[in-house]
Structure 1
Amino acid sequence: MTEISETSGSRRRAQAASSSLSWNKVPEVTAYFWIIKILCTTVGETAADLLNENLGLGLTGVSLLMSGLLAVVLVVQFRTKAYRPGVYWLAVALISVVGTLISDNLTDNVGVPLETSTAVFAVALAVVFAIWYGREGTLSIHSVDTASRETYYWLAVLFTFALGTAAGDLVAERMALGYWVSAVLFALAIAAVAVVRQALGLNAVLSFWIAYVLTRPLGASMGDYLSQPAGDGGLGMGTVVTSVLFLAVILGLVLHLSLTRRDAARDEQPGPQVG
Structure 2
Amino acid sequence: MTGYTHRGRASARIVAAGSVGLLAAGALTACGASSGVGGTSDADGAADRTLTVYAAASLTSTFEQIAEDFEAAHDGVDVKLSFAGSSDLVAQIQQGAPADVLASADTANMDKIVADDLQAGTPTDFASNALMIAVPPGHPADVASLADLADDDVRLVVCAPEVPCGAATERVEEAAGLTFAPVSEEQSVTDVLNKVITGEADAGLVYVTDVRGAGDKVEGIELPESDSAVNVYPIVALEQSPEPELAQEFVDAVLDQDGQRVLSDAGFAAP
TM-score interval, normalised by the smaller of the two chains: under 0.3
Return the structure number with greater strand share. 2
Return the structure number with greater helix share. 1
**TM-score, normalization: structure 2?**
0.23
Determine which structure has greater relative contact order: mean sequence separation of CA pairs < 8 Å that are 6+ residues apart, divided by chain length: 1
